[in-house]
Amino acid sequence: MLSRIEPNSAEPVSRRVFRELRQAIVTMQFSPGRPLSEQEVATQLGVSRQPVREAFIKLSESGLVTIRPQRGTFVVKISAKQVIDARFVREAVELAVVRKAGAEMPARVIGELRANLDAQRAAADEREPERFLELDEAFHRAIALGVECDYAWRVVEETKAQMDRVRYLSLPQATPVDRLIAQHEAILDGIEARDPDRAEAAMRLHLREILTSLPELERRFPDLFDSEPAARSTAGQTADTVA
């Protein structure tokens, strides 16, 4: 399941473990609810428990696993509320970003985005959904970084982690890729036309897309979803302020 970590040096082992596990989780190779043992993962990857432990900490910070002391570490189940909340934040941030892009996106980046769009079409023609997902992410990232919203993109990336699992879950089904590409084009048109309102509207429409498949998926895969939306005992470090 997990490939052994070679002493590639240069990059810390803990980071590699983190990347490996993160990838496995968002691509649904590790089912929600699955227990992850420090010991087990460590032996499978051929490293000690320590780096694995640190990777677990980062994953829990990202909200992908929950660490229950003395009990175990588990891949968090997909929570409809969590996905909706993440989408809310993502929409808020990306709308602000795309407005900025509509106002001041440099021409050079617009060219890159056009090229990316062509690549998306190619990936769609050749029926390579995974490749399309990569290009999709790159498209959104290029918009954010194009107007120097690095931190904003970092936040979006985190919210995406939640939503990506849903996307991978809906991959086998017919994904209306053409539809998504058309939406991307509308966004880019708005940016190129220097029309923040149009760009924002197009982006808003685009980001609503994921909500359509959510109820269907929750019905089809009930055991992958968190049954009750209560009990948020995740990572949330509480700033202990008073009322």
- Contacts with DNA by CB under 7 A lie at 9, 12-14, 36-40, 47-51, 53-54, 56, 67-73
Q: Which one, 15 or 220, has the nearer CB to its own copies?
A: 15
Give the number of residues in contact with its own copies, rule: CB under 8 A. Answer: 44
From its own copies, DNA, none, which one binds at residue 40 (CB under 5 to 8 Å depending on kind)? DNA
**Residue 10 DSSP symbol:** S
Closest CA to 36 of 75, 77, 79, 76: 75
For residue 79, the minimal CB distance to its own copies (Å) is 10
Residues 58-117 that bind its own copies (CB under 8 A): 58, 61, 69, 82, 85-86, 88-89, 91-93, 95-97, 112, 115-116
Q: Which one, 50 or 173, has the nearer CB to DNA?
A: 50
By DSSP bridging, strand 35-36 and strand 72-75 are antiparallel
Gap between the Cα atoms of 42 and 48, Å rounded: 5
Q: Which one, 66 or 82, has the nearer CB to its own copies?
A: 82
SS (H, E, C) 116-181: HHHHHHHHHHCCCHHHHHHHHHHHHHHHHHHCCCHHHHHHHHHHHHHHHHHHHHCCCCCCCHHHHH
Q: Which one, 114 or 220, has the nearer CB to its own copies?
A: 114
Region for residue 76 given its phi and psi (left: phi exceeds 0; alpha: psi -120 to 50; beta: otherwise):
beta
β-strand partners of 72: 68
Interaction site with its own copies (CB under 8 A): 12, 15, 18-19, 22, 54, 57-58, 61, 69, 82, 85-86, 88-89, 91-93, 95-97, 112, 115-116, 134-135, 137-138, 141, 149-152, 154-155, 157, 159, 232, 236-237, 239, 241-243
